[in-house]
Chain A
Amino acid sequence: MKRVGVFVCHCGTNIAGTVDCAKVAEAAKDFPNVEYSVDYKYMCSEPGQEMIKQAIQEHKLDRIVVASCSPRMHEPTFRNCVEKAGLNPYYVEMANIREHCSWVHPNEKERATEKAIDLVKMAVAKAVKNQPLQKTTIPVTDRALVIGGGIAGIQAALDLANAGHVVDIVEREPSIGGKMAQLDKTFPTLDCSACILTPKMVDAAGHPNINLLTYSEVEKVDGFVGNFDVTIRQRARSVKMDVCTGCGICMEKCPVKVDSEFELGLAKRRAIYTPFPQAIPNKPVIDREHCTYFIKGKCGICSKVCPAGAIDYTQQDELITRRYGAIIVATGFTLFDHSVYGEYGYGKYPDVITGLQFERLINASGPTMGKLKRPSDHKEPKNIVIITCVGSRDETKGKSYCSRTCCMYSAKHASLIRDKIKDSKVYIFYMDMRTPGKGYEEFYDRSREVYGTQYIRGRVSKIYPQNDKLIVRGEDTLLSQPVEVEADLVILATAMVAQPDADKLAQKIGIGYDKDNFYTEAHPKLAPVETHTQGVYLAGACQGPKDIPDSVAQASAAAAKACALLSKPEILTEPIVSEVDEKTCAGCGTCVLICPYKAIDLKTLTERIAGKTVERKVATVNEGLCQGCGACTVACRSGSIYLKHYTDEQILAEVNALCL
Chain B
Amino acid sequence: MSVNEALDPKASAQTPEDWQPKILVFACNWCTYAGADLTGLSRLQYPATVRILRVPCSGRVNPQFVIKAFQKGVDAVLVCGCHPGDCHYTTGNYYTRRRFLLMRRLMEYIGLEPERLQARWISAAEAPKFQQVITEVTEQIRALGPNRKLRDVQWQQWNS
In the complex, A512 has a CB within 8 A of chain B? yes
A658 touches B61 (CB 8 A): no
Interface residues on B, range: 35 or more
How close is B62's CB to chain A, nearest CB, in angstroms?
A: 5
Question: When the two chains form the complex, which single residue of A73, A107, A596, A634 contacts B91, counting CB atoms closer than 8 Å?
Answer: A596
Question: Which of B44, B59, B69, B91 gathers most chain A CB within 10 Å?
Answer: B59
In the complex, A182 has a CB within 8 A of chain B? no
A side interface size, CB within 8 A: 49
How close is A370's CB to chain B, nearest CB, in angstroms?
A: 46
A-contact bits for B50-93, CB 8 A (1 contact / 0 none): 01111111011111110011001110000000000110111110
Residues of B within 8 A of A98 (CB): 40
How close is A90's CB to chain B, nearest CB, in angstroms?
A: 14
Residues of A within 8 A of B121 (CB): none
How close is A124's CB to chain B, nearest CB, in angstroms?
A: 14
Q: Which of the candidate stretches B2-10, B29-37, B111-119 sits at the interface with the other chain?
A: B29-37
A655 touches B61 (CB 8 A): no
Residues of A within 8 A of B59 (CB): 629-631, 634
B39 touches A658 (CB 8 A): no
In the complex, A339 has a CB within 8 A of chain B? no
A659 touches B43 (CB 8 A): no
B68 touches A122 (CB 8 A): no
B95 touches A631 (CB 8 A): yes
A659 touches B73 (CB 8 A): yes
A658 touches B40 (CB 8 A): no
Could you tell me the distance between the alpha carbons of A647 and B39 in the complex, rounded to whole angstroms?
28
In the complex, A654 has a CB within 8 A of chain B? yes
In the complex, A643 has a CB within 8 A of chain B? yes
Residues of B within 8 A of A73 (CB): 37
Residue on B nearest A522 in the bound complex, by CB: B88
A104 touches B89 (CB 8 A): no
Question: When the two chains form the complex, which single residue of A105, A122, A532, A634 contacts B48, counting CB atoms closer than 8 Å?
Answer: A105
B68 touches A652 (CB 8 A): yes
Residues of A within 8 A of B47 (CB): 108
In the complex, A34 has a CB within 8 A of chain B? no
Question: Which of A114, A512, A596 gathers most chain B CB within 10 Å?
Answer: A596
In the complex, A87 has a CB within 8 A of chain B? no
A660 touches B154 (CB 8 A): yes
Residues of A within 8 A of B33 (CB): 70, 72
In the complex, A111 has a CB within 8 A of chain B? yes
Give the residues from 567 to 611 in chain A that come closer than 8 angstroms, CB to CB, to chain B.
576, 594, 596-597
Question: When the two chains form the complex, which single residue of A122, A627, A658 contacts B74, counting CB atoms closer than 8 Å?
Answer: A658
A107 touches B45 (CB 8 A): yes
Residues of B within 8 A of A (CB): 20, 22, 24, 29, 33-34, 36-37, 39-41, 43-48, 51-57, 59-65, 68-69, 72-74, 85-86, 88-92, 95, 99, 131, 154-155, 157-158
New A-B contacts (12) at CB < 8 Å, excluding given A99-B36, A648-B64, A658-B22: A73-B37, A99-B39, A105-B46, A108-B47, A629-B60, A634-B61, A634-B62, A646-B56, A651-B62, A651-B65, A655-B24, A656-B72
Q: What would be 5 A-B contacts, judged by CB atoms less than 8 Å apart?
A: A101-B40, A512-B86, A532-B88, A652-B65, A656-B72
